[in-house]
Amino acid sequence: MVKENIARIIEEGKEAFALATEEMVFAELEKKYLGRKSDLSDILKGLKDLSPEEKREAGPLANEGRLVLERAAEEARTRIASFKLASEEHIDITVPGRKPAVGHLHPITRLTHEVEDIFSTLGFSVVGGQEVETEFYNFDALNIPSDHPARDMQDTFWIDSEGLDSQYVLRTHTSSVQVRYMEAHTPPFRIVIPGRAFRNEATDASHEHTYHQFECLMVDERGKVTVAHFKHIAEMFFREFFGRDVKVRLRPSFFPFTEPSFEFDISCILCDAKGCPVCKQSGWLEIGGAGMIHQKVFEKAGYDAGKYQGFAWGFGLTRLAMMKYGVTDIRLFMDGDIRFIRQF
Amino acid sequence: MKFSYNWLTELSGTKKSPEELAELLLTHSFEVEEVRPYEHGLSGVVVGEVVAIAPHPNADRLRVAQVSTGEESRQIVCGAPNIAVGQKVAVVMPGTKLQNGMEIEAAEIRGASSLGMIASEEELGIGQGKEGIVVLPPDSPVGSPLATLLGLDDVIVDVKILPNRGRDALSHFGLAREISALEGRILDLPFPQERFSSEQGVRDAFTLSVEAKSACLFYAGLLFDLSTEKKSISLEMKGRMLMLGHHSLFPAVDLAQYYSLLYGQPMHVFDADKISGRSLSVRFAHPGEVLTVLSGHEITLSGEDIVIADSKGPIALAGISGGKESAVSEETKSVWVEMANFDPAVIRRSRVRHGLPTAAAYLFEHGVDPIWPAILPSSLIPSFEKTLGAQYKGGVRYQGSEEKEKRVIHFSFDRIESTLGIVIPKEKVISLLRGLSIGVEMSGEEMTLSIPSFRSDLLDEVDIIEEIGRVYGYEHISPSIPLVPLLLSEENKEEQMSRVALSECAALGFDEIMTYSFYGKEEREESGVPLDEHLRLRNPMNPDQAYMRAKLLPMLFRKMRENMYRSESLRLVERGKVFFREGAAPREEDHLALALSEKESDASEIFFRLKGMAEHLLEVLRIDTEIAFVHAKSAPSFFHPGKTAQVVVEGKVIGIIGEAHPDCMKKFGARKMAGAEFSLDAIRDLSLRPRSMRPLPKFPFVTRDISLRVPEAVTVASLEEVIRRAGPPLLKECVFFDVYEKGREKNISFRLAFGAADRTIEKTESDHAFEHIVEEAESVLGAQLSL
């Protein structure tokens, strides 16, 4: 009888604690099952009246039952306390968070970093240069003769050089760094030169007088760097940059500082070279110019004639950015409108 | 340059379609900008024969013609005085809209029905003749479209000839020669290359003296008598010139022009009877001489222009434009045809100086083959005689420096592989070079090449490699991996630091913008950098971009204003070069500028908000030496004079920070803002302390706050300095936490920590140190402990 009673009390108690949700009810239950005057206490108190066998059986059973009930009570207490806290101090967790302001890097900066990182993994050094450059490094050192049309006022920004030690221009290309670098270094070298370049032309949706370029140079002894190598590096670069296979096409061109000279196109990344408005249905995108560095340039740098060989290529980062992000008005890059910048 | 597809195929013998031809040129020679069928606007114009003419019943000046257009005959009212029975004429059928906008319909003209129009050259847009109707050659087939007769069913191919290929490719013959070479054929001149000499023919020409020897390399002049018979060039020739943008003028001028399009040698035709004194000189102009050119403009010559002059003065601006006075006209009876060779640079400068971008100037600037004046007369003279019925009366020839021997280039076969990175079979190389009219002699691996005069761009071995590469096809070069020494790339500290700085600015909520490297007078004045330290552009786009920026902030503040209405909170950063004039040389510095503006509630704190961010940024850049903020003596004018500080580290000014001037704020709208600008170069040059670990304290510190009342003028920094001086050895830390002003005094509070490295200090010890600090602050700054 006693055994059955104990078991029943434990079952009832466990269930009652599990269902308890309010402090008041809990207090009642605690009194009822675990208090001095609880049924279990009564049984324990009544043990002395039982037979030795019954005592032996019911004693441990009742003590064990008490432990079970205490655990159940503890669980209920925690649950009720937490429920109470939640209902008293409740917030609308769907209210938007207080976000620290997020700043945005300029898309040109982002791409510059990307391009630099790709070239760095290929062992190219990133080299800086001057934006205000002497006429010599911008033109003469690159074998551009003094009567070349590019030197006209309408193509080049000239610095008022009165009282200065030389004629200065705003560099019309990052190629102006070539001979400066060569004067201070001996091949082999691999470098990239990112930066601003300037052309004196009126601005509209597709023309800017200030634009960002990349120049890439790789020079070694004669015969060690060929056009085939250039093609490989160009393809590798664009594959990494666009994250897909890209074909490079070289076309004949003319630059005074390279020979042979190329225009280089890449297969259109927007239409997979199938033809679209961006590539004017040709399947190719015109990206930049390249060529094997002219021996006259090496000579200007003071290198021995015929000793070295290498390629130079330059491409417009602004143009790549327009392509990559679908920007249709080039002026947005230098306009400083946060509605544009905050998209990147 | 625009080319006629038909003409090119006729000369080169290519079988390619216009598109295929464009592709061939694009990959091997030149960019093709456009391929488009020529729009002649002459559909609906056919050849008709005038069968009968009757007077108009109601108008004296009109006549009624019966014109056969093949199957049928139609009545057309015509007012032209030159109409005659038996003529072949151009009939515009009803329903046709001509290029000049005129729409032809069947109509009643003063009571007589007229089914079409008999047109003049001008009405058809094929010439300038408007006095009378076009009279077509007698053998023109009646009923056939006029466009076919003029050869206008053609395609225009616009080719961008590379600047170094002007000499050989800026002509139809030249480009046809290139096309033939690409297809493996050699195109020779269609006339014998006999040297023209003055003795040839009748010697009835003018005397010639060339004084400008440095600028005139060659001159040939031919005298023709046109008085006996007057014939025009063929319709097809007219059509071709029309398509390429040249309107027919006078037969002799037309023919010279046609030759120029064909061979690339510009020519000028003078009315020989208007050349005074029967003598010509080629000389530099006398400064101030005046010439009215063909377009009617009067130009004042400079001493650097070369002119053709007669005994009275200049009659042409050499190589660019003829003079109006000596121009050919209807009355011209004899002409002087000039073909010469002038220095490209001289022509270019004259063209730019006088703003005369003529077709001749274009050709000369790109370099014309000097061989033409020597050999072209042997084709031109018979052509003038045959086509125009002219009589050759003699010529003169001047040749400057001796023509160079055929240029020879020695070429080693293995250079192809070592430059291009591909192997091309020797036989292929030889046939390819021969195709380019280059003479080849082999001896082992060495070749001796003789270069024709028209390829002035081929000067040495590498030029030959380029020729081989492009004609063979760059598409045959397969990418290959270079084998290079494994070298560490050089560290670029500038770049690394700017990356860290920009990323941190972005993390602090700054949006990065880029602005131009130049600004205007207003920004220049705001910058606080004196005018004579600014670099100025000689040819700015506009006055607002006349100076190289010496500070980033003026433009950044401008952009703040432009963006103000776009966002409640604005944080802008720009990193870029600024420029100074330092003595006789320009100097560039890498700068970083920040600007901040927030909602009204935060405005009183704006300076300290930005200062905190700047300090944060400097700490991220690992500047851990003491950074001092001192009042700026000369601040840019857009800063508040009382709220501007120079940022000084190790005695060097590395930047400036301040709140915008109230006037500046008014200009920018009501919101307060602050700005800062740092020289990244200066920061980079700061000595970075090598870091090593300091042992952690073993014994606890006692912390105690101190609040001192000081006169208003005392700064937090000066009070802190006194505390730090008075505190040792037990004072370990002193951290500012509050300041408030009350009347003419202010209360400044710090949290102090006392301790020792070898023991836990007693309370009496820290009390003593604290009291000492208070005493010092009182005696040095008049501070009182506030309670």
Q: Which one of A101, A220, A295 has the shortest CB-CB distance to B571?
A: A101
CB of B410 within 8 A of CB of B446? yes
First-residue to last-residue Cα distance in chain A:
79
For residue B658 the two structure tokens come to 């301040």
**The predicted structure's pLDDT at residue A145:** 83
Instruction: Quick: pLDDT tens for B284-329.
Output: 999 999 999 998 999 999 999 999 999 999 999 999 999 999 999 8
- Domains of chain B (ranges; CATH) run 2-39+154-182 (3.30.56.10), 45-149 (2.40.50.140), 207-399 (3.50.40.10), 407-476 (3.30.56.10), 493-685 (3.30.930.10), 702-785 (3.30.70.380)
Q: Is B609 an 8 Å CB contact of chain A?
A: no
Instruction: Quick: pLDDT tens for B600-658.
Output: 656 668 899 999 999 999 988 888 778 889 887 777 888 888 889 999 998 899 999 99
Q: Which one of A113, A152, A159 has the shortest CB-CB distance to B535?
A: A159
Torsion over CA: B646, B649, B654, B655 (sign) = negative
Q: Is residue A73 part of a domain?
A: yes
**The predicted structure's pLDDT at residue A19:** 84
Asked if the Cβ–Cβ distance from A124 to B489 is below 8 Å, we say yes
pLDDT at A118 over 90: yes
| Residues A112 and A50 placed together within one structural domain of the fold | no
Q: Is residue A42 part of a domain?
A: yes
Q: How many residues does chain B have?
A: 787
**The predicted structure's pLDDT at residue A15:** 85
A39-53, A203-217, B652-666, range with greatest mean pLDDT: A203-217
Chain B residues within an 8 Å CB radius of A299: none
**Which residue in A233, A341, A92, A308 sits closest to B502, CA to CA?**
A341
Tell me the mean pLDDT in the region A74-99: 87
Q: Is residue A9 part of a domain?
A: yes
Q: B62 versus B656: which is more confidently predicted?
A: B656
Q: How far apart are CA B358 and CA B281, in angstroms?
A: 22
CB of B201 within 8 A of CB of B307? no
* Structure confidence at residue B662 as a pLDDT band (50, 70, 90): confident
With pLDDT > 70 as the criterion, what percentage of chain B qualifies? 96
DSSP A213-233: EEEEEEEEETTSS-HHHHHHH
| Sequence-ordered list of residues with C-beta below 8 angstroms from that of B560, at least 6 positions apart, any chain | B570, B572, B595, B597, B668, B673
Among A27, A60, A88, which residue terminates a domain?
A88
CB of B260 within 8 A of CB of B338? no
Instruction: Specify the DSSP class assigned to residue A119.
Output: H
Tell me the mean pLDDT in the region A192-212: 92
| Residues A60 and A183 placed together within one structural domain of the fold | no
**Which residue in B307, B390, B402 sits closest to B347, CA to CA?**
B307
**The predicted structure's pLDDT at residue B668:** 62
Residue corresponding to tokens 């205490």: A70
Q: B176 versus B135: which is more confidently predicted?
A: B176
Number of Cα atoms under 13 Å in the Cβ half of residue A262: 32
| Residues A182 and A328 placed together within one structural domain of the fold | yes
Q: pTM of the full predicted structure?
A: 0.84
**The predicted structure's pLDDT at residue A138:** 94
In terms of C-beta density within 10 A (0-12 exposed, 13-18 middle, 19 or more buried), how is residue B648 classed? middle
**What SS3 state is found at B711?**
strand
Chain B residues within an 8 Å CB radius of A103: 505-512, 571, 573
| Residues A225 and A320 placed together within one structural domain of the fold | yes
**The predicted structure's pLDDT at residue B121:** 83
Among A35, A57, A88, which residue terminates a domain?
A88
Q: How far apart are CA B220 and CA B427, in angstroms?
A: 42
CB of B388 within 8 A of CB of B226? yes
Phi and psi torsions of B765, nearest 5°: -65, -45
pLDDT at B63 over 80: yes
**What SS3 state is found at B141?**
coil
Mean pLDDT for chain A overall: 88
Which of A99, A102, A105 is best to mutate for the B interface (most B CBs within 10 A)? A105
Q: How many CB atoms lie within 10 A of CB B245?
A: 10
| Residues A122 and A173 placed together within one structural domain of the fold | yes
CB of B590 within 8 A of CB of A131? no
Q: Is residue A311 part of a domain?
A: yes
Pairing of strands B73-78, B59-68: antiparallel
| Sequence-ordered list of residues with C-beta below 8 angstroms from that of A177, at least 6 positions apart, any chain | A127, A128, A129, A130, A137, A193, A195, A215
Q: What is the 3-state secondary structure (H, E, C) of B634-698?
A: CCCCCEEEEEEEEEEECCEEEEEEEEECHHHHHHCCCCCEEEEEEEHHHHHHCCCCCCCCCCCCC
How far is the alpha carbon of A260 from chain B, nearest alpha carbon, in Å? 5
Instruction: Quick: pLDDT tens for B358-395.
Output: 999 999 998 899 889 889 999 999 999 998 889 888 88
Q: How far apart are CA B527 and CA B535, in angstroms?
A: 13
* Residue A46 structural domain: 2-88
**The predicted structure's pLDDT at residue B573:** 97
CATH number at residue A258: 3.30.930.10
| Residues A315 and A182 placed together within one structural domain of the fold | yes
Q: How far apart are CA B725 and CA B728, in angstroms?
A: 7
CB of A269 within 8 A of CB of A112? no
Interface of B with A in 349-388 (CB under 8 A): 349, 352
| Residues A179 and A283 placed together within one structural domain of the fold | yes
CB of B449 within 8 A of CB of B413? no
Q: Is residue A94 part of a domain?
A: no
Q: How many residues does chain A have?
A: 344
Instruction: Quick: pLDDT tens for B81-138.
Output: 888 888 888 889 888 888 778 888 888 888 888 888 888 888 888 777 667 788 888 8
Chain B residues within an 8 Å CB radius of A263: 31
Pairing of strands B31-37, B45-56: unpaired
| Residues A47 and A154 placed together within one structural domain of the fold | no
Tell me the mean pLDDT in the region B547-561: 93
CB of A344 within 8 A of CB of A248? no
Instruction: Quick: pLDDT tens for B143-161.
Output: 899 998 888 999 999 999 9
Q: How far apart are CA A179 and CA B196, in angstroms?
A: 48
| Residues A191 and A62 placed together within one structural domain of the fold | no
Mean pLDDT for chain B overall: 88
pLDDT at B595 over 80: yes
Q: Is B162 an 8 Å CB contact of chain A?
A: yes
**Which residue in B5, B51, B474, B436 sits closest to B244, CA to CA?**
B5
| Residues A288 and A169 placed together within one structural domain of the fold | yes
How far is the alpha carbon of A244 from chain B, nearest alpha carbon, in Å? 17
**The predicted structure's pLDDT at residue B402:** 60
| Residues A130 and A9 placed together within one structural domain of the fold | no
Chain B residues within an 8 Å CB radius of A186: none
Chain B residues within an 8 Å CB radius of A223: 418-419
Instruction: Quick: pLDDT tens for B488-523.
Output: 888 888 888 999 999 999 999 999 999 999 999 999
With pLDDT > 90 as the criterion, what percentage of chain A qualifies? 48
Q: How far apart are CA A290 and CA B542, in angstroms?
A: 33
Tell me the mean pLDDT in the region A70-75: 86
pLDDT at B347 over 90: yes
Q: How far apart are CA B610 and CA B603, in angstroms?
A: 11
With pLDDT > 90 as the criterion, what percentage of chain B qualifies? 46
**Which residue in A207, A151, A200 sits closest to B352, CA to CA?**
A151
Q: Is B566 an 8 Å CB contact of chain A?
A: yes
Q: How many CB atoms lie within 10 A of CB B745?
A: 16
| Residues A175 and A319 placed together within one structural domain of the fold | yes
Complex ipTM, two decimals? Answer: 0.85
Q: Is B163 an 8 Å CB contact of chain A?
A: yes
Q: Is residue A114 part of a domain?
A: yes
Tell me the mean pLDDT in the region B732-755: 87
Q: How many CB atoms lie within 10 A of CB A337?
A: 15
Residue corresponding to tokens 């063979």: B472
Chain B residues within an 8 Å CB radius of A109: 502, 512, 575
Q: How many domains does chain A have?
A: 2
Among A29, A60, A88, which residue terminates a domain?
A88
Q: Is B476 an 8 Å CB contact of chain A?
A: no
pLDDT at B748 over 60: yes
Q: Is residue A99 part of a domain?
A: no
CB of B674 within 8 A of CB of B657? yes
**The predicted structure's pLDDT at residue B743:** 81
Nearest CA in chain A to B505: A103
pLDDT at B252 over 80: yes
Q: Is residue A216 part of a domain?
A: yes
Q: How far apart are CA B278 and CA B340, in angstroms?
A: 18
In terms of C-beta density within 10 A (0-12 exposed, 13-18 middle, 19 or more buried), how is residue A299 classed? middle
Pairing of strands B511-512, B570-582: parallel
Asked if the Cβ–Cβ distance from B484 to A160 is below 8 Å, we say no
* Structure confidence at residue B169 as a pLDDT band (50, 70, 90): very high
Tell me the mean pLDDT in the region A73-95: 86
**What SS3 state is found at B531?**
helix
Interface contacts (A, B; CB < 8 Å): 230
Instruction: Quick: pLDDT tens for A21-49.
Output: 888 888 888 888 878 777 777 777 777 77
CB of A273 within 8 A of CB of A283? yes
Instruction: Quick: pLDDT tens for A243-291.
Output: 888 889 999 999 999 999 999 999 888 888 888 887 888 889 888 999 9
